[in-house]
Every structure is written in C-alpha cells, then in structure tokens.
Amino acid sequence: MKCFKLLVLWGLLAAFPLGNEIHAQKNINEQNPQDSELTIPFTRPKLVVGIVVDQMRYDYLTRFWDHYGDGGFKRMVIEGFNCRNNHFNYAPTSTGPGHASVYTGTTPATHGIIGNEWYDKVSDAAVYCASDTTMTSVGTASDAGRMSPHRMNVTTLTDQLRLHTQMQSKVIAVALKDRGAVLPGGHTANAAYWFEGGSEGNWISSSFYMEELPRWVNRFNSSDAVAQYKKPWSTLKPLSTYTQSGPDNTPYEALIDGESAPVFPHDLESLWEANGQYGLLRITPFGNSITTDFALAALKGEDLGQDEITDFLAVSYSSTDYVGHFFGVNSKEIQDTYLRLDQDLERLFKALDKEVGEGQYTVFLTSDHAAVNVPAYLSDMKIPAGYFSLSLFRDRIMEFMKNRFGTTNLIKNYSNAQIFLDHEVMQKLDLSIIQVQEEMSEELLKYEGIDRVYTGYQMQHNEYSAGIPYILQKGYNQKRSGDILMVLEPATVSYSRTGSTHGSPQIYDTHAPLLFFGKGINPGSTTRRTEIPDIAPTISALLGIAFPNGTTGSPISEVLE
C-alpha cells in the first residue's frame, strides 16, 4: 500500500512539474506582457502636476461650463475623474491651511498650519505660516524671500516622492504667493518660487532651497515675459455674453485706486504707479498667465518628466483669490478670470503633451478653499446675510471680562475666529480655565451674528464625527489653537462690504473642485463625499509610495485604474 501511494504521488508530480509550471507561466507573460503589468501595484508617470486654484468654488466648473474650451477644465472632467462632492473637513478655510492639507493628507490638527497667520503661544507674537527669519532672500534685496516650510509639522506628498526615489525625483513648486509654493513643495523640494511685485516683477526664492537663482530663472526675469502683461484688461469674450455673472458695475465690488467705477476695461497702464506696479497684476487674470509662463519655463529649465523617475510640478494659481476678494464671486471680473484660466490650463496641458508625452503624466486640480457670495448682495436679494463688527465685539467682550473677572488681561489675542486666553493670569487669579471658557461661551452666544461657540476643552475631550464641530475639531491643534472657537451665522462675515471672503466652516467655504486626469486615472465621477486630505493618499497609492507621515485621509478608490 505504501509503495502504491508513492507511485501515485510520483505520477502527480510528473503530470504537474513545478519547473514546467513556472516555464509555462513565463511563456504566458512573454506572449501577453500587459498581463504581468496588471499585477504591478503602482503607476509610474513621468511627471505629476498638482494644481491648486486659490478660492475656487465648485460651481465655477458648472456655472461657466458653456464658455470653457475643450482643452482645459472640460478636458479634465471628460477625460478624467470628477469628485463632485469634495469638501474641506476643517476650519479655518484659508490659503496656508489649504495648501498644507492638500499636500500632507491631513488637517491643521495634525500638520499645524492653523491659519495664514496665528498667535504663537510660545513667542507671544503673531507668526506667518511660511516666514523664517533664519533664511535669506534669493533673487531680491527685500525680505520677501525669507521663507521656509519649518512650521509644517509633517511630511508632504512631495516629500514622500523624494524619499521614495532616494531624492532622485525633482520637485518644483510655483505660485504668486509664497505660501502657495513653500507648503506644497514640502521640506525637501528642489526649489520653490514666488512672485515679487513692485518695480521689478521678478520670481524669487529662499536660501532654504538655494544660494542663487538658476540660470533659467534669471533668463526669465530678465526677459519681457512679465512686462507684456502691462496692458488693458478687457474681457476675453464680448461682455454681453457674460450672462453667468452680475452687472459690470455694482456696489459689491471694490475700486482699484484711480478708477471711478469697477468696470471693463481696466486700464492697467494708467493705474500702474498707484497700485504697486507689477503687484497690480495679482488682481488680474494676467497673474495666472504669468504663473503658467513660469511653470512652463520650469518644465523645460529643470527637464521635468524626461526620464523614468517621476518628477513633481506643484502650481498654485493665486490671482483667482485676489480677484474674488476684490470684485466678488458674482462679478464679471471673476468670470473673465476663469475663462482666461481655462486657456492657461489648455496651454499647460498642450505643453505637457509635447514635452512629457500624452498619457505619460498625471494631474490633479483642486482649491485651497472656496468663498461666500458678497453678503451685501445676498441681503439685497432678501437672503439672510450680514456683517460682524470686530471692533464692537472687542469692546463688548472686554467689558464683560472686566465686570465678571475684574480684568481685561485674560484675553491675549483674537485671530482666526479664536480667542486666546492668558493661562498665567488665570492661575494667579485662581480661576478655572474650564469655567472661564464656559462662561465666555455663554456670553458670546448672546452676541448678534454669532451662531455657535465651542471651547478648547470641548475640542480636546470630545470626539465629533459630523457637522460644524467635526470641522472645527479637525482644524484644532492642541498646541497652537485658542481657548474659544467662534462660528458666525451663515453668510455673515467680518469683512468689507465689497468683495468676497472665506475662512468659515460653512459649506460655501468648504465645497471645492477635485479633478484627476492622466496616467493611471479611471475616467468617471462620484457624488460620494470626498475630503481634501484624501488627495495625498490617492496620489501616493497611485505612485506606490508611502503616505505622508501625518495622513488622516484615505485613497479615493474610484479614481484609480
């Protein structure tokens, strides 16, 4: 019986030899090389391009859709993947936190960029999210280049790409705003560049990245690439066709110094000297065109996407934010800015097709925050909206503190809709921090314009999973945030009566576009809720690299092939 079993076993091995099985599988793969490629758990585009459009609401995609060409926004939507219910899951919704969250895959609670500026409890002073006094400017004699990402506590998608490739990947970040370049570039970027206005209109950098500007940057700065935009700003298409926005002359728009009405055309040459010279270009769509010009120069100057090691180009379009703040989200100016941006995107994609190769690069496009419609306009349309007087608020809360606690010294700072208390003074007065926070919250809820109030204690000891408190908690950093968090009523802002703003946890500030297209992207769309911290892990999963080390988002599986 034992011999019989051995013979059977021997026959089975002869019928299915291990060596022959491997040989057969090898032949199959040789005949169908794509079969083996399907098992590779990553995609290797030659270049990833991350685009952040400052202050872009999701409905700008749909509102101006009929005016867009086929090669910009429409190309991304039709050929790529559209996340139609994408949101910021934290507040404040502003530029610094927005760019940091897109690239770190987490929120201010973890990455630490809690605002563009904030009160620093350690130094007892206001700090800027990208400032670094230990650095020197490169390309300018001013302090505009003294920047670095040192206040960002975690790695970025771009950092992880550099680490994964043993620093062989190139990462270049470009934006008009310094924070729009510094934060996306991460801690290991080869370079980050931003624009300095004034009389020169040059692109500059920081000693954090380099000792001197590369030759291609100097060539760009010495050319007339920027000077060509010193021209009248007229509408791209006939003004009468801009029916997706309000009248050209409204009381909801600010005036450029020297203009008597906020109407087209805007004669930039006559307004030049009174408005910061080249700095004036920031509040026009030409600022985005300058950014595109420089990004294309970087593409060639740095030989991005020219080998099998994936490079990264981070581009932030800042002029959309300046125009929105100045003229409002319903203005003719904002419509023209987006139609021109659409052309800039088409120009960028065509260059990528040519220089890198169609189908050889991957792009994502999102925003750093959205924006509210001008409250004065909403109010005139009989929609609840209003303005919150910061000066009246300060006077009233200080009076309360003096009457209730005998001193106004308990409040050290108010910023980003947060109140910072002096814990040392409270300790000397033998006051309970929790009690002071709770009593102040009850008082603040009586004030007109304030919708709800939360305390630092609530943020630290509760766990919220939905709604406004969830959004506030994701933006609350235990070491850096304040003692009291205030939320104004919907469409109520502390801002001028002209132009739009942002920063709140309300849905008009959180709903932003998220588009993917290119190599490794599955065409389609979803109305499932996605969140800004999902972007970095999605691209990381595509590339097969480690997630940024503070990641709290999750890959959007529908996006990936």
Q: Which residues are catalytic?
A: 95
Cβ-proximal residues to 536 (8 Å cutoff; 6+ apart), any chain: 102, 103, 104, 105, 156, 157, 547, 548, 551, 553
Cβ-proximal residues to 165 (8 Å cutoff; 6+ apart), any chain: 309, 310
Instruction: Return d(Cα 513, Cα 88) in angstroms, integer.
Output: 10
Instruction: Return d(Cα 292, Cα 280) in angstroms, integer.
Output: 17
Beta-bridged to residue 233, according to DSSP, are 266
Residue 351, judged by CB atoms within 10 A of its CB (0-12, 13-18, 19+), counts as middle
Instruction: Return d(Cα 101, Cα 551) in angstroms, integer.
Output: 9
Cβ-proximal residues to 207 (8 Å cutoff; 6+ apart), any chain: 135, 136, 137, 138, 145
How far from 23 is each of 12, 18, 30, CA to CA, in Å?
A: 18, 9, 10
Give me the helices (H) in 318-466, please.
Answer: 319-327, 332-352, 375-380, 390-405, 423-428, 433-444, 456-461
Instruction: Return d(Cα 549, Cα 417) in angstroms, integer.
Output: 29
According to DSSP, the β-strands at 386-387 and 492-493 are parallel
Please answer whether residues 298 and 181 qualify as being in contact, where contact means their C-beta atoms are separated by less than 8 angstroms. Answer: no
Q: What's 198's DSSP letter?
A: B
Query: Which among 72, 82, 44, 105 has a CA at the least distance from the CA of 537?
Result: 105
Instruction: Return d(Cα 180, Cα 103) in angstroms, integer.
Output: 11
Token digits for 94?
């502003």
Phi-psi category of residue 266: left, alpha or beta, with phi > 0 → left and psi -120 to 50 → alpha: beta
Beta-bridged to residue 277, according to DSSP, are 198
- Give the strands of the sheet with 418-421, arranged side by side: 411-415, 418-421, 484-488, 450-455
Token digits for 364?
């994502």
Instruction: Return d(Cα 322, Cα 328) in angstroms, integer.
Output: 10
Query: Which among 295, 290, 291 has a CA at the least distance from the CA of 311?
Result: 295
